[in-house]
Amino acid sequence: MAYFTASCDPVETNTKFAKSLELDYPILSDPDKTAAKAFGCLSPRGFSNRWTYYIGKDGKVLHIQKKVSAGDHAQEIADKLKELGIAGK
Residue 89: the pLDDT is 60
Tell me what pLDDT residue 70 has. 82
Residue 31: per-residue pLDDT: 96
Which pairing describes strands 5-7 and 52-55: parallel, antiparallel, or unpaired? unpaired
**pLDDT beneath 70, residues of the chain:** 88-89
* Mean pLDDT estimate for the chain: 92
Q: What is the pLDDT of residue 66?
A: 95
Q: How far is CA 62 from CA 18, 27, 65, 73, in A?
A: 27, 21, 10, 17
Residue 2's pLDDT is what? 82
Element (H, E) at 41: none
Is the pTM above the cut of 0.75? yes
pLDDT at 23: 93
State how far Cα 20 lies from the chain centre. Answer: 18
Residue 88: predicted pLDDT: 65
Domains and CATH numbers, the chain: 5-83 (3.40.30.10)
